[in-house]
Amino acid sequence: MDEASGDLTLINTMSSEGAGPAHMSLDRTGKFALVANYAGGTIAVLPIEADGRLGAAVDVHRDTDSLGKKLATDAPRGSFAISGHDKPHAHMIAPDPTNKFVLATDLAQDRIYVYRFDATTGKLTATEGSGFASLPSGNGPRHFAFHPNGHWLYLVEEEASVVAFFHFDPATGALEQKQSLSILPAGFAGTSFASEIVVSPDGRFLYSANRLHDTIALCAIGADGGLRLVGETSTLGDYPRHCGIDPTGNFLLVCNQKSDAIVTFRRNKVTGLLSATGEYETVGTPGILVFA
């Protein structure tokens, strides 16, 4: 990446060891790339060489059986949010803040897996017990975000438009669910697919995108980590697949996939509320944004 212009030059490509890679992150050392293959139902760890080149996967895990039901247990009344429970679908993979564990969601299995991570070899091993936490059948766990304190984890469930709050033990990797909260307005009926989840840098607010409802839900985070739904803001576009907070914490940007635009909102750091800036950037079917 050219630091002055931002232009990119291809170095190499490497197999993700599964069909349809949907999410990638780096471990905390920057030496390994972690990949979730949605269509293939696999996760993989690829080494990153000193020059940035990707090496062949050093570990691959495949999810099998234990599929959830087609309609989410916690779906809104009248929902037709039915997708992805035909076979295992790994959806997100990322390390915990200590880099001792790697967590991965499988939407079809309604599970979030926790693996011990060897930052020297890149190998993943199952944690004690079942090695995963289960979500209600059909809810479809998608993406997750850690609170800055490293002990609280928030997980968005795609087909139910629900956020689950967990206590995470950084010593053992154990997850204990404490709360489940709808991120749709009270009385909502119909179909919505939740997509992204973001915790503010100060740890006081949580934002989550709802596709079809086309809103960003705002939740306040309490002193005990519990969530309170404050309200929602229109994304001013169609099908918000991703949202992210800029490095200053002043702005939240939304990828409206089906209206081909990235929309910028100003974020009130005191109240957490969003207000449109009027800034639109036209991009064909934007799916994700990452700040360098």
- In tens, the pLDDT along 36-74 reads 999 999 999 999 999 999 999 999 999 888 999 999 999
The answer to whether residues 55 and 45 touch, using CB atoms and an 8 Å cutoff, is no
In the chain, the amino acid numbered 219 is C
Tell me phi and psi for residue 258, to 5 degrees. Answer: -90, -5
Q: Would you state the pLDDT for residue 240?
A: 98
Residues 6+ apart with CB under 8 A from 24: 33, 34, 35, 36, 93
**126-135, 197-206, 215-224: the lowest-pLDDT one:** 126-135
Q: Can you tell me the distance from the alpha carbon of 155 to that of 22, in angstroms, rounded to the nearest whole number?
A: 17
Cα distances (Å, whole numbers) of residue 185 to 176, 181, 190, 194, 210: 26, 11, 11, 13, 11
The answer to whether residues 283 and 260 touch, using CB atoms and an 8 Å cutoff, is yes
Q: Can you tell me the distance from the alpha carbon of 254 to that of 257, in angstroms, rounded to the nearest whole number?
A: 9
Alpha carbon dihedral 107, 112, 118, 119, in 10-degree steps, equals: 70
- In tens, the pLDDT along 194-208 reads 999 999 999 999 999
**Tally of residues, the chain:** 292
CATH class for domain 21-185? mainly beta
- In tens, the pLDDT along 103-123 reads 999 999 999 999 999 999 999
Is 239's pLDDT higher than 90?
Answer: yes
Sequence spans of domains, the chain: 21-185
If DSSP codes are grouped into helix, strand and coil, which group holds residue 165? strand
Q: Would you state the pLDDT for residue 46?
A: 98
Q: Buried (b) or exposed (e) across 167-181, using 16+ Cβ within 10 A?
A: ebeeeebbbeeeebb
Mean of the per-residue pLDDT values of the chain: 96
Q: Would you state the pLDDT for residue 81?
A: 87
